[in-house]
Structure 1
Amino acid sequence: MTVRVMLISPAMNAALREARFDGDAPLDRSGRERARAAADAVPPAGLTLSGPSERCRETAEALGLAARTEPALSGWDLARWSGRRLDDVAAAEPARMSAWLGDPSAAPHGGESLRDLVGRIGGWLDSLGGPDSPGAGFLAVAEAAAVRAAVVHGLRLPAEAFWRLDVAPLTLTELSGRSGRWNVGLGRPLTAPTVR
């Protein structure tokens, strides 16, 4: 059975504007307004999910989705770096930052390694499509790191490719296929349809 998985990256918040490692922060006013404006561009799905972060849940709500929280779609666990600015961590811990960026198995922050993140998201992705799966597919609001990890897993890319994928706020990435064989449509912006 072919499965369609549509992943929407959440709207903007202050942590993203300040280049902070994911902390559980709410949307800012602009992010909330942009998500509401994009609600009509969200494709239909059989099952609608949301990562557990406040940013994901608020984006789903602003998009008008009655999304069920899916713990497997949590953001990257960066433990003690969570909520800190990228520049501050790089200045305070340059060797650890270098190890984290260069070795997919490294977790100098005490949380999840890149390899672990890709494995967790890939495991969730591959679990979809069973006999109880909705016919129209899955739609999930998920943190950008989870979207990037899904693409890495779906295309069987080396883990290092994660760092070369950009996922802008409020974009739709689609994976279709089944466990072990996925096709990917990347980063379509969610914009309100134009009226003629």
Structure 2
Amino acid sequence: MIPTSLRLVAHGHTTALRRARFGGADDGLDEGGLRAALAQARTESGRRGHLRVDDACLSGPEAAATQTADAFGLLPTIEAALADCDYGDWTGRSFEEIAVEQPQALHEWMSIPDSAPHGGESVATVRDRVGRWLDGQRTRGQRIVAVAHPLVIRIAVVHALDLPIATYRQLDVEPLAIIRLTSQGGRWQLRLPAPRAG
């Protein structure tokens, strides 16, 4: 069986990410996020195993995800399963605001994966959605790039490695991080690149 190579790419910085706001990726990359994505695309082109324009590219529907793919010279197809979490009533509001106004609700959301006190999606719901998509990619036998919000990438890694769902809080995925997974049709394997010679 031809192996599947999946590169999970966290989209670049947005104003909402920098200000720790729930949602906001529809606003697109901020100026610094776009500059960083373009700079990384130039660096990435010289690396072994780099992203290639002929890779199948999927992205979440948010502007920040599609703009990141564009910056890398990829032609993304929108994949709804890669959408950021629906934060319901908290969308656009800062973590700090919610911590002051609804501390118990925030604690519940952060400590109970099935909770959705904001009226949107729970983390468990996002894992189910992203996990179904990820499971369907294992046998594709091609190189795939998936660009999404850093939270979606964290949850995808937790699912791929069959870790407890609460583990997503222990993963720190920076904007423009690239995580490589491979599969021979069975379980996903996390591939950590060797350091560049030089």
Tell me how far 1:185 sits from its aligned partner. 3.5
Q: Which of 117, 120, 124 is residue 115 of structure 1 equivalent to? A: 124
Q: Does 1:145 find its partner at 2:145?
A: no
Are the equivalent residues in 2 in contact too, given 1:121–1:146 (CA < 8 A)? Answer: yes
Tell me how far 1:139 sits from its aligned partner. 0.4
Partner of 1:103 in structure 2? 112
Task: Judge which range, 93-102 or 170-179, deviates more.
Answer: 170-179
Counterpart residue type for residue 76 of structure 2: A
Q: Identity across aligned pairs (percent)?
A: 37
Task: Give the TM-score, by structure 1 length.
Answer: 0.88
Are the equivalent residues in 2 in contact too, given 1:104–1:114 (CA < 8 A)? Answer: yes
Q: Which of 34, 38, 44 is residue 36 of structure 1 equivalent to? A: 38
Q: Which of 72, 75, 82 is residue 81 of structure 2 equivalent to? A: 72
Counterpart residue type for residue 11 of structure 2: P
C-alpha distance in 1 between matches for 2:62 and 2:32:
18
Are the equivalent residues in 2 in contact too, given 1:152–1:162 (CA < 8 A)? Answer: yes
| CA deviations over 1:94-153 (Å, ceiling 9, x no partner) | 1111111111110101111111111111100001144xx3x4321011111110111110
Q: How many residues align?
A: 187
Tell me how far 1:77 sits from its aligned partner. 1.2
* SS in structure 2 at match of 1:119: helix
* SS in structure 1 at match of 2:29: coil
Counterpart residue type for residue 170 of structure 2: R
Task: Judge which range, 105-114 or 172-181, deviates more.
Answer: 172-181
Tell me how far 1:179 sits from its aligned partner. 6.2
Q: Does 1:14 find its partner at 2:20?
A: no
| CA deviations over 1:4-29 (Å, ceiling 9, x no partner) | 11111111111111111122221111
Counterpart residue type for residue 93 of structure 2: R
Partner of 1:171 in structure 2? 177
Runs of 4+ aligned residues of structure 1 deviating over 3 Å after TM superposition are none
Tell me how far 1:175 sits from its aligned partner. 1.4
* SS in structure 1 at match of 2:126: helix
**Is the alpha carbon distance of 1:111 and 1:180 closer, same or farther for their aligned partners in structure 2, counting shifts above 3 Å?**
farther
- Note the residue ranges of structure 1 that are not aligned, 5 or more in a row: none
Tell me how far 1:178 sits from its aligned partner. 5.3
Are the equivalent residues in 1 in contact too, given 2:138–2:188 (CA < 8 A)? Answer: no
Task: Judge which range, 143-152 or 121-130, deviates more.
Answer: 121-130
Q: Which of 66, 71, 74 is residue 57 of structure 1 equivalent to? A: 66
RMSD: 2.0
